[in-house]
A and B are shown apart, each in its own frame.
Chain A
Amino acid sequence: MTKPNQPSLAHQKNIVGQWISAFKSRGYLGVIFAVICACLLSGLGLLQSLKIHQRQARKALIQETLTAQIIPDYDQEYLGHLKLREVSFVPQQTDASSDQHEYAALSSLQETKSGLKLDQPEDKAWFDAYWKDKSEWFDAQGHLWGKRTLTLKAQQTGLPTDFQLLAKLSATQPPRLPWLWFVLCGLVTFMIAMWACFYFGSTHDSTQDSTQQKKAKHSSWSLPLLTTISASPLVILSCLEIMSREQDTGIKVAEGPLVASLALIPMLILGLSQYKTAGKSSSYRVAYTYMMPTLLSVGILVFVPFSLGVGLSFMRHHQGEFTWVGLSHFIDILSASDYPLTHPLNFYFTLAVTLFWTASNVVLHTSIGLSLALLLNRKGLKLKGIYRALLIIPWAIPNYITALIWKGMFNQQYGLINKFLAILGIEPVSWMGSFWGAMAANISTNTWLGFPFMMVVTLGALQSIPQDLYEAAHLAGASKWQSFKSITLPLLKPALLPAVILGSVWTFNMFNIIYLVSGGQPGGASDILITEAYRWAFEQDRYGYAAAYSLIIFFILLGYARLTQRMTQAAEEVYS
């Protein structure tokens, strides 16, 4: 079995030979593909980095000039009672002494994360300003020239029509970090190159054999090696980038290794998985390459924010500063000592409301969806297609639109619901004035927009039930109800249960409806957990508290999912 014979010896070349021969046998396609991707992506990364660099350079320059005159150039427009002005900005060379701000309406421009924001001006009008990059250029002396546009949004009319604006620009935030782009682009490039290599290059890897132990070891080393080689320029680049930046931005040295390790982690994982599995089946590797793009993007944009959020829940936020408070948020929330049990802000009260909200919605969705699907699935029903098309409409309408419309419909004075009631001789109800009224409004809105999903799922599941089961039941003398109970329901279960579970998770976190329809009225009583958390975050600015709140929501859902897992498994056994 282990006798080495001629052909297998031919395969025991060195690593480089292997790769080269693999590429050769695939006609260089892989190499070209990888190179093109690499070029494109590094180009992109470089461009982005340059752009950010430029932005920083520009900022630095503005900071030096300090003052600039903004000459209004009116183009007024009324949008509702919002007033919009376009102001053009001509940077001017100022002498060092004229550090004085001369202005009519604005005192200073302050850097914020969102761009440039105007501080409280003296006349107490409230402004929101956005810089828009227009044509700008640096001249030979390094001065900024060109035209920038500043959009001012004011909530008040009657501002002076012409005013001069002197802006003090300061970059208080550290400039953005281009190295991340290097890392990201490098990662993606690397991934695509690997992908290409696996697919175009090394098909001979895809079957490994115990007689080929040596070869397996070779290839198990070749990848980590390659990983390190391809990663090292990236790491060096990032380090250089950080070191060059260090002096002027005050970023700590400790970040260097951090960044480097960040770049290395995915590669290390890949290399390790490589090493572990090389002897076994290399289909793992193929699978990982297929998973990689999704893992990367979901990792960066879902799991990183999630972890950040978890971190946030242990901190208190006050005016831009975060302080560690440990578990105190959780203790606060769960002990609910600040409010009595029936107070809308009490956690358990809100939890009860949420559970009520979820349960009633799921029951309504499922029962309405199921019965409509059963009706629509009847043989020989005319206009089936039209009914189905019309009944799907609520699903197709964006839910914030639905929510706003229904909010209008439940309005006490001009709402249509009350007009209906008036016809029936019932006094107009103040829907948002009572807890039950508000909940009724919320639930009916959500039912309206949620049942089509269940209907469609049920319809699909119904269609997949073999007709001969019913025929068999009919021959066995089963009544319609009996065959529904003993055939339809059990066979629907495997498709319906997951839909119900997912639906309940979505409903549990259904922000839009509650926030827009009842808005928590009266007095926050109709808020569910997620809207409550939102209020803590954005109306009270208690980010940490809100994060802790959200985390608790997450754990409740997780527990729920665990609980239901067994149910689904049981249901699937029926099916298989």
Chain B
Amino acid sequence: MTSVRLIGIGKRYPNGFEAVQNLDLEVQSGEFIALVGPSGCGKSTTLRMIAGLEDISSGELLIDDERANEKAPKDRGVAMVFQSYALYPHMSVRENIAFALKLQKMPQVEIDQRVEAVAKKLQIFPLLDRKPKEMSGGQRQRVAMARAIARQPKIFLFDEPLSNLDAQLRAEMRVEITKLQNELKTTSFYVTHDQVEAMTLADRVVLLKSGVVQQIGAPLELHDQPANRFVATFIGSPTMNMLRTELKLDGLQVCGVHLSLSTKRLEHIQAQGIKSGMPIDLGIRPHQMTLVALDEQSKLDEQSEQAQEQTATLANGIKVSLEAIEPLGSETICYCRPIVTADDQESSEQRLVVKLDADRKVERGQIYLLSFKEEHIHLFNADEEGVRLS
């Protein structure tokens, strides 16, 4: 059982590029950490610093409360699965898995036992005597996993291990990894592009952007309470809709429509120095919006009294024209554009994505009213950082 602590870790490449800046992270033993972020944000760099493949330029890495900055990779007790798998092409699967064990001077009998046990667990037993080039991508991936597991390391490091697999295999392996993780309870770091992987596998997710941590938290925390606009748009699929709004005395002006906010929210916002008349970014997830046909509006009007009792809703709904529909079977994705007065250029250029149930029938080119509940909205500062307001 191993805990890992990263204290103000930073990486500056010889060319002066700061790939990671001041990263603080405390990992409990047995925890599964996912590192996500856009390409080039420094995920791999972080992982490689933990592995010892890159020097740590600043800060301190503690493994089991022991400084590990200067330790060689082999002394850190880490195992790594690479995106390209990095199997030794000249060795059979068996030799690949046994290589690290041999270097540990483990007795041959024990090596054989371990290799075979791991191979059985990952269903690659029949492949043990093949060379890497004689296997499919999925099989290679399993071998790479087996190689890491066989060592029984203190820490697992995965660098986008599933990104070369097709969707189905990926899903399969995801389940497999979850199973293994439950079984082995090894501290793990997992770099991925795929949010689904991050959300399903990780105990906690670290989101990076240009080498700076944006948020660290449980997957749902990132989803439900994004710390800033970047996190909000990065997590979730389809991405969260962002609307530029203006703060009014008792609510927001969204695309020419008034949205009243709860007093609690208003106070909260004002406490952070945003005054009436200032812009605010409003985020709302596609699945938390709904489209209402214009002729249904009368019905809606009837119900609105009841609705307003429950939560504050958009007064009227934003008038949108439906530009494109993607029926996916289980759901329908709609792309809409707000219809506003000609002078409100900014909001007319915005695209809104709405996710509807599959059984809702909508038509392209029609005009709908878009509505959502106040409780579902996220508000962010409109400046560059876009810190969450409430």
Q: Measuring CB to CB, which residues of chain A are less than 8 angstroms from any residue of chain B?
A: 1, 5-8, 11, 203-212, 280-281
Contact = CB atoms under 8 A, between A and B. Distances in A.
Given A8-B67, A206-B55, A209-B69, 9 more contacts: A1-B8, A5-B67, A6-B67, A7-B67, A8-B69, A208-B55, A209-B57, A209-B58, A280-B14
Interface string B48-84: 0000100111111010001101111001000000000
B58 A207 contact: no
Closest 8 interchain pairs by CB?
Answer: A7-B67, A204-B70, A203-B72, A207-B55, A207-B70, A209-B69, A210-B58, A1-B8
Contacts of B60: 5, 8, 211
A292 B353 CA distance: 63
A6 B66 CA distance: 9
Interface residues of B, number: 17
B14 A207 contact: no
Contacts of A210: 57-58
Nearest to A205: B70
B14 A281 contact: yes
B66 A209 contact: no
Nearest to A280: B14
17 contacts: A6-B67, A8-B67, A204-B72, A206-B70, A207-B52, A207-B55, A207-B56, A207-B69, A207-B71, A208-B55, A209-B57, A209-B58, A209-B69, A209-B70, A210-B57, A280-B14, A281-B14
Given A8-B67, A11-B70, A209 B8 contact: no
A209 B56 contact: yes
A183 to B, nearest CB: 35
Nearest to B10: A1
Given A1-B8, A5-B60, A209 B72 contact: no
A7 B72 contact: no
Contacts of A207: 52, 55-56, 69-71
Contacts of B57: 209-210
Nearest to B57: A210
Contacts of A204: 70-72
Main DSSP-derived SS at the A contact region: helix
A211 B70 CA distance: 12
A6 B75 CA distance: 19
Contacts of B75: 203
Nearest to B62: A7
A1 B57 CA distance: 11
A203 B72 CA distance: 6
A11 B66 CA distance: 12
B70 A1 contact: no
Nearest to A206: B72
Contacts of B67: 5-8
A203 B70 CA distance: 8
Interface in B336-388: none
Contact of B58 (A1, A6, A11, A206): A1
Contact of A211 (B58, B71, B72): B58
B59 A281 contact: no
A206 B68 CA distance: 12
A244 B59 CA distance: 58
B256 to A, nearest CB: 50
Contacts of B72: 203-204, 206
A211 B8 CA distance: 12
Contacts of A280: 14
B198 to A, nearest CB: 29
A205 B55 CA distance: 11
Contacts of A7: 62, 66-67
Nearest to A25: B75
Contacts of B8: 1
A450 B31 CA distance: 64
Contacts of B71: 204, 207
A207 to B, nearest CB: 5
A209 to B, nearest CB: 5
A205 B71 CA distance: 9
A97 to B, nearest CB: 77
B136 to A, nearest CB: 20
A427 to B, nearest CB: 63
A204 B75 CA distance: 11
Interface centre among B57, B67, B69, B70 (most CB of A within 10 A): B70
Interface string B240-252: 0000000000000
Contacts of A5: 60, 67
Contacts of B69: 8, 207, 209
Interface centre among A5, A207, A209 (most CB of B within 10 A): A207
B287 to A, nearest CB: 42
A535 to B, nearest CB: 52
B59 A1 contact: yes
Interface in B5-27: 8, 14
A11 B75 CA distance: 16
Nearest to B68: A7
B3 to A, nearest CB: 15
Contacts of B58: 1, 209-211
B328 to A, nearest CB: 33
Contacts of B56: 207, 209
A281 B52 CA distance: 14
A23 B56 CA distance: 24
Contacts of A281: 14, 55
A1 B67 CA distance: 14
Contacts of A8: 60, 67, 69
A17 to B, nearest CB: 15
B284 to A, nearest CB: 40
Interface in B295-339: none
Nearest to B12: A210
Interface string B159-174: 0000000000000000
A280 B59 CA distance: 16
B13 to A, nearest CB: 10
B67 to A, nearest CB: 3
A209 B68 CA distance: 11
A285 to B, nearest CB: 13
A212 B56 CA distance: 11
Contacts of B62: 7
Contacts of A203: 72, 75
A7 B69 CA distance: 10
A209 B67 CA distance: 12
Nearest to A283: B55
A557 to B, nearest CB: 34
Contacts of B52: 207
B137 to A, nearest CB: 19
A203 B68 CA distance: 12
Contacts of A209: 55-58, 69-70
B46 to A, nearest CB: 15
A236 to B, nearest CB: 37
B358 to A, nearest CB: 40
A221 to B, nearest CB: 19
A281 to B, nearest CB: 7
Contacts of A212: 70
B216 to A, nearest CB: 20
A574 to B, nearest CB: 26
A11 B68 CA distance: 12
Interface centre among B58, B62, B67 (most CB of A within 10 A): B67
A425 to B, nearest CB: 61
B337 to A, nearest CB: 39
A216 to B, nearest CB: 11
Contacts of A211: 58, 60
Contacts of B14: 280-281
A511 to B, nearest CB: 41
A5 B62 CA distance: 11
